[in-house]
Structure 1
Amino acid sequence: MSDERRLAVLRAIVEDYVQTREPVGSRMLTERHGLGVSPATIRNDMAALEDAGYIAQPHTSAGRVPTDKGYRLFVDRLAEVRPLTSPQRRAIETFLSEAVDLDDVLGRAGRLIAQLTGQVAVVQYPSLRLSGLRHLELVPVGGCRLLVVVITDTGRVEQRYLDVTDAPGEEPAVATVEAPEDGAAAPVLDEGSLGELRARLNAAAAGKRLSELPAAFARVVAGVAPDLAPLARGVADLVVDTLGTEGEERIVLAGTANLARADMPFTHGLSPVLEALEEQVVLLGLLTEMVGEPRGRRGDGAGDEQPWGEGVGVRIGHENRLDGLTEASVVASGYGSDGDTVALLGSIGPTRMDYPGTIASVRAVARYLSRVLPG
């Protein structure tokens, strides 16, 4: 649609409908917006918008409401997103910087998004498969048992136990390192050997991602003394397996109670939306698609390079492939340290949401979350 005046009318309808929750008529537009034209002209513009599928009339003699197509054009033609106020920005930064660990900071991020938008917040834990190894600690915990502590560069901590035994028939707790069959001594857990192995593995892993660790650790195994090689191999395999675990995706959901508010316009009730939120794997797949896809999906070429659009995705109504979200919109962004996206976050609410405010909130929390992540 090339007529800027009709676009201004659509923008006014969206803004008024989001604010008042009532269908918007030509008289309201004339009174509330300085469009500079007569009510008759506005009615003609509304008729044209309705014919094009951007607005609809829910009841006879009622005003108009935006359709999914209308919301899409509104979002894609946003010239800018209103920035958060200085107090809001300071509150976000202070609240996140006071977190004591990764669980706390992600929980706080979810609560922030839910509070700022009045909708549901989704925050993904940094994926271990996209993380690197920041530090590895080896702690003997009695007998022939070793605690392996894996700390990723995103601040995530995983603990695994490794049994080092010269009795191959024993049942290991998580993983086992058996004595070599050639008669060599069983791996030892003295502090000197552990200190050497710890230093070698940390040095080999410095600055490397998961895909690079197996080769780096193989060189460590090949370079240690023969009596230490079985232990080195066992620890290396355990770390790679931990960081490569497929079923470890976790998310934080916050603000689900917001869905119960009386002004949430879900025609089919809350059950479909809540069921969609429980499909965490599919939900994360949707967020991943949104953040990774180029803008300009509607096909008219308008607004392809919006200044707010980098790294922010918006799916509206029936654009969502989850049946329960066909009356909802999703705004999502990625976050991470050192410019790398390691996880996603977003906000889910009705299609009649405050898009500029939601986009600004999601983008701001993603940026601040990236800053407070361990670098």
Structure 2
Amino acid sequence: MTLGLSRSELILKLIVEQYLADGSPVSSKAISEHTSLQVSSATVRNTMMQLEQSGLIRSPHTSAGRIPTTQGIRLFIDKMLQLEPLPSRWLSEMQQNLQPQLPVSLLCQKAGQLLANLTGLVSIFSPPKSGGRVIRQVDLVRLAADRLLLVVIDEEGDILHRVLSQQQSVEAMTLSRALCLLNAALCGQQWLDGISRLALMLKTETGAIAGLLQDVMAQLSLDELQQNQPLVFGQHHLLQAAESQKDPALQQVIQLLEQPACLMSLLKPLTLDDSTKLILGRESGIAQLHNVSVITVRYQADPHRYLALLGPRRMNYARLIPLVEACGQQLSKHLNQPKQSP
């Protein structure tokens, strides 16, 4: 027997590997012809019957073949899966795209796009800034008499820049006063605290300055809302598959990804340590995810940041698990290194 497996485990391993490769039911004849087995077709049939009674494989419809259940795939992954070395091309692309000098949000965006492009699946990243941001610098730059550029830089180097269009020309004194108030309210503060301080200052200001501060506060609030949304890449892969396969189950997954709060509530407690987690179909407890699997890993503890790869239950786990782990390690290496003083 291979890898110290019992006969029934080896037969389950062969069934799962064949199913993951082509998605077709596996017959006892195909299993008995495998070179690693030296038993009769009758013995294979009896063993497959035992596996079916144990809930590890099942017969779809009236087919003579068997496919693994979620329980069978789980046993295979936990005990029999042999991870593959990461292809050098994937490693090279990861190193080229995920540069340490990139701000956090851009680094996560590049990682998400890279994972989706390499795999043809959906990559999901926890909100890049959900741990709270400290504002390092704020500026208002005149673009025209009635247009200003708001620039806000946080401690991790991410930059918010928004054009503020005013109803009338902004005088130099108004611009100078507004900038002084913004620096007093925001610099050195966490994003939400800065917004609260700015709201208090607004109560004592009137006219053009009040209008300008109100516009800045609206942009900061909008950005805070956006930064607390998870990043999702590769939805078009699911959409194309759902259309080509006319699969309503995939349509449900697409709808879930449009409002992913339920999915994030599942992933967050699973990523409290550094180990890679795999959720198979019904294990999620979420009806929309019954036909898909999710590989997830944490890449930063404080703030809590994690990524996930979502795809069909029949995916190449041996190759994709190392890819998710390598991406997490690359992000962790860049984000957890000591911060340099500005």
Matched, 1:113 2:90: no
- Kept after mapping to 2: 8 A contact 1:120/1:259: no
The residue number in structure 1 matching 2:27 is: 25
**Is the aligned partner of 1:249 residue 2:252?**
no
Contact 2:182–2:198 (CA under 8 A) maintained in structure 1: no
1:226-245 matched pairs, under 5 angstroms: 237-238=217-218, 241-245=221-225
Say whether 1:355 aligns with 2:317. yes
Percent identity between matched residues is: 24
Equivalent of residue 175 in structure 2, options 168, 189, 198? 189
Structure 1 residues 1-375: aligned runs within 5 Å: 5=6, 6-32=8-34, 34=36, 40-58=42-60, 60=62, 62-77=64-79, 81-97=83-99, 108-117=110-119, 119-124=120-125, 126-132=127-133, 133-143=135-145, 146-152=148-154, 153=156, 155=158, 157-159=160-162, 161=164, 188-190=174-176, 200=184, 203-205=187-189, 208=190, 210=191, 212-213=193-194, 237-238=217-218, 241-245=221-225, 249=229, 251-254=231-234, 256-257=236-237, 269-282=246-259, 284-294=260-270, 310-317=275-282, 319=284, 321-323=286-288, 325-335=289-299, 339-342=302-305, 344-349=307-312, 351-369=313-331
Q: Comparing both chains, which one has the higher relative contact order based on Cα–Cα distances under 8 Å and sequence gaps of 6 or more?
A: 1
CA distance in 1, matches of 2:318, 2:227: 35
Task: Give SS of 2:229's match.
Answer: coil
Separation in 2, partners of 1:249, 1:160? 22
Cα distance, 1:52–1:158 mapped onto 2, change above 3 Å: farther
Amino acid at match of 1:204: G
Q: CA deviation at 1:280?
A: 3.1
**Contact 2:147/2:163 (8 A) holds in 1:** no
With over 3 angstroms needed to count, the CA separation of the structure-2 counterparts of 1:366 and 1:272, relative to structure 1, is same
- TM-fit CA distance, 1:33: 5.8
Cα distance between partner residues in 2 of 1:252 and 1:156: 21
Superposed displacement of residue 66, structure 1: 0.7
The CA deviation string for residues 243-273 of structure 1, in whole angstroms up to 9 with x for no partner, is 5427973644327347757xx9x9x723441
Q: What is the deviation of 1:15?
A: 1.0
Contact in 1 for aligned 2:178/2:212 (Cα 8 Å): no
Change (3 A) 1:146 1:108: closer
Question: Which stretch of structure 1 is more off in the superposition, 340-349 or 49-58?
Answer: 340-349
Q: AA paired with 2:23?
A: R
> Deviation string for 1:139-170 (max 9, x for gaps)?
2344576432234437363526386xxxxxxx
Higher helix share: 2
Q: How much does 1:56 deviate?
A: 0.8
Structure 1, gaps ≥5 residues long: 164-170, 178-185, 222-228, 296-306
Is the CA contact (8 Å cut-off) linking 1:125 and 1:250 kept in structure 2? yes
Which letter maps to 2:310? Answer: S
Distance (Å, rounded) in 1 between the aligned partners of 2:57 and 2:28: 13
- Which amino acid letter does the alignment assign opposite residue 25 of structure 1? S
Secondary structure at the residue paired with 2:175?
coil
User: Could you say if the C-alpha distance between residues 363 and 33 of structure 1 is closer, same or farther in structure 2, counting changes exceeding 3 Å?
Assistant: farther
AA partner of residue 270 (structure 1): D
Shift of residue 16, structure 1, vs aligned partner: 1.6
Query: Using the alignment, how far apart are the partners of 1:157 and 1:48 within structure 2?
Result: 61
Q: Deviations over 1:299-343 (max 9, x none)?
A: xxxxxxxx9x725342415746244x433323334555x753346
Instruction: Give me the TM-score of the superposition, normalised by structure 1.
Output: 0.64
Moved more, 154-163 or 352-361: 154-163
- Give the aligned CA root-mean-square deviation in angstroms: 4.9
Q: Which runs of 4+ in 1 moved over 6 A?
A: 98-104, 215-219, 229-233
SS at match of 1:43: helix
Gaps of 5+ in 2: 202-208
**Maintained 8 Å contact 2:127/2:227:** no
Secondary structure at the aligned position of 2:251 is classed as helix
Q: Does structure 2 conserve the Cα–Cα contact (< 8 Å) formed by 1:114 and 1:347?
A: no
TM-score, normalising length from structure 2? Answer: 0.69
C-alpha contact (below 8 Å) 1:14/1:66 kept by paired residues: yes
SS at match of 1:148: strand
